[in-house]
Amino acid sequence: MEKLLNNIFRESNNQFLEQEMDNISNDVIERNLCGRLAIYLNDKIRENKLIDYFVDTEYNRKQNGQVKTILDDEFNIININCDIIVHSRGNNISADNLIAIEMKKSNRPEQEKITDKKRLRALTKESYDDIWSNDGVTLPEHVCGYILGYYIELNIKEKQCLIEVYKKGNKTNEWTQEF
């Protein structure tokens, strides 16, 4: 599944960078760019027959209507909404969370970038206390378990895109891509 998800992300991001060059170059708001990337992700999710999954932007609710939360490094509860997520909206408890994506422009404050990266580490952790309900019935109290997380940083001036990959709470890869 991880390889499939990585291919879906890479193909979607390549298509996004190619097709949305005008939007990116015109320095449109990150929310618009995230929405555009979500369209390409959705198309690839459907092409790969992951029919019970959704691509959502700024999504902040669990299936029961509660606000999604994570635990920070000091185990404080933090309300979250990730830029883009691919998930089953709680309908497939054993494999609910697939991809989490945060996007920033390179000219944003460093603290915002750090916060996004911390969020991806938390979202991709397997659990917070090494106890994970894997009974296929119970959702975890705090959101985690995303198979992959991606941090995208767009440098419009240099026409470069930095991509960092997060898995199991750690950054595992990064590369720079021209657009």
Number of residues written out for the chain: 179
Taking the model in full, what pTM does it have? Answer: 0.87
Question: Are 150 and 14 within 8 A, CB to CB?
Answer: no
Collapsing DSSP to helix, strand or coil, 37 comes out as helix
Chain CA centroid to CA 52, Å:
18
Q: Is 174 or 92 the better-scoring residue by pLDDT?
A: 174
Q: At what angle do helices 2-19 and 30-47 cross, to 10 degrees?
A: 130
What pLDDT band is residue 138 in, cutting at 50, 70 and 90? low
What is the rounded average pLDDT for all residues in the chain?
87
**Better pLDDT: 79 or 126:** 126
Q: Which two tokens stand for residue 41?
A: 């992700």
59 confidence band (pLDDT: 50, 70, 90): confident
Query: What domains are there in the chain, each with its CATH number?
Result: 2-178 (3.90.1570)
| pLDDT tens per residue, range 85-137 | 999 987 887 788 999 999 999 999 999 999 999 989 988 988 655 444 444 45
95 DSSP assignment: G
Q: What is the DSSP string of 32-83?
A: HHHHHHHHHHHHHHHHTT-TT-EEEEEE-B-TTSPBPEEE-TT--EEE--EE
* Strand pairing report for 148-155 and 170-178: unpaired
Of 50-59, 74-83, 118-127, 128-137, where does the model show the most confidence? 50-59
pLDDT for 145 equals 82
